[in-house]
Amino acid sequence: MTSAAAVRDYVETHIDEVLADLDRLVRLETPSSRRDLLEAALPQIEAYAVERLGEPVARARHDGGERGDVLDLTWAGSPGVAGTVLSLCHYDTVWPEGTLATWPLTRDGDVLTGPGVLDMKAGIVQTVWMLRALRELGASHPAVRLMLTGDEEIGSAVSRPHIEAAAAGCLVTLISEPSAGGAVKVQRKGTVFADVTVTGLESHAGLDPYAGASAVHEIAKLIPKIVALADRSKGTTVNVGTVEGGSGRNVIAGQARCAVDVRVQDPDEAERVASALEALQVEDERCSLEMYVDHNRPPMNPTPRTEEIVALAHRVGEDLGFPIETQAVGGASDGNFIAALGLPVIDGLGGIGAGPHARHEHITVSGLPRQTALMAGIVELLAAE
């Protein structure tokens, strides 16, 4: 077998090409809300992958409607090696068009900063170089299926069925979302979102204060009840992220809204909180309440097969000379959908860095060979199985 250390050395030798590839992808501005930019970028990302890996043996592109399309590419495995590994990456980012004008990809020593470099264009480049390295070094590997989605940052409504269908037929799904210090993510919280709208009755706050029914006052009464649904002992958190309402200081507010973010590790908690939210009522009968609850993502909890593949990752770490740590985080990813189906998924295999969705978003250059080798090592051990 080819050692993961050999893959790391191979990528280090080609690091200038790897960084040039990353620059190429970061230069493609791909905000989730801009269908036109996503549609323009996806053929260029595909062309890049084909230049590095050759034509895939299977290709499908699924229409994303108002969102980014899903591109599904598969390259053959080594002769005699069965099965397929799915590498799941999203090419959309949170950064609006024009961000590159003031914040291009910039290197300062080991730090590489730029919009989307960590979340998660480094992951796309890592996948391409993982397969390229395995081939160049003559290592046995299963087929590699690269799925590129364009709506992960806004909920994956379009891509979810394609993700679930692809994962069901694969040995494992590897997700190269950002890694905190090199740890792999085996647990993520599920998310429930709620939009709360109260409609009241407007009147003049001075001339006719009792004729109105304040939507702002009613939503202020609801918020403590919403926040009280959190349960720290079970890892359930509740955050009211935005509150808005009213039209003026001297107007009894006719409408008020708040946006609620719920994170759960236990699937039963999602049902408990959602039911409690839907049961809320306003106190003033002249007001009305509209509650929209979205079960956005189920929790990601490790399956027995996931734990077996984590054990493979530990073996790869031994070859690379460092321990592979596992991590549970509050943020969700597309891995949540896969784990909820009882399928194996390893997340957090992407760039090592910090600041996703923030102006200090960055990766370490030294982390690219390491993370690519970790992915390659897992894939090669699956071939050996």
Sign of CA pseudo-dihedral 51, 97, 86, 354: positive
- As given in the structure block, the two tokens for residue 218 are 């009613």
- As given in the structure block, the two tokens for residue 79 are 């002769």
The owner of tokens 């897992």 is: 378
Residue 116 near residue 100 (C-beta atoms within 8 A):
no
Check 29, 92, 202, 347 and give the catalytic one: 92
Distance from C-alpha of 297 to C-alpha of 151, rounded to nearest angstrom: 14
Residue 192 near residue 294 (C-beta atoms within 8 A):
yes
Residue 253 near residue 186 (C-beta atoms within 8 A):
no
Sign of CA pseudo-dihedral 39, 45, 48, 49: negative
**Residue from 368, 377, 378, 379 nearest 179 by CA:** 368
Residue 21 appears among annotated catalytic residues: no
The owner of tokens 């236990």 is: 266
Residues linked to residue 89 through DSSP beta bridges, in sequence order = 148
The owner of tokens 């909180």 is: 273
Check 72, 151, 152, 269 and give the catalytic one: 152
Residue 66 appears among annotated catalytic residues: no
Helix (H) or strand (E) holding 282: none
The owner of tokens 């080609």 is: 14
Residues linked to residue 190 through DSSP beta bridges, in sequence order = 264
From residue 72, alpha-carbon distances to 50, 139, 144, 369 in Å are 13, 24, 11, 25
* Residue 326, amino acid: T
Residues 180-193, buried b or exposed e (16+ Cβ, 10 A)? eebbbbbbbbbbbb
Would you name the residues annotated as active-site residues?
A: 92, 152
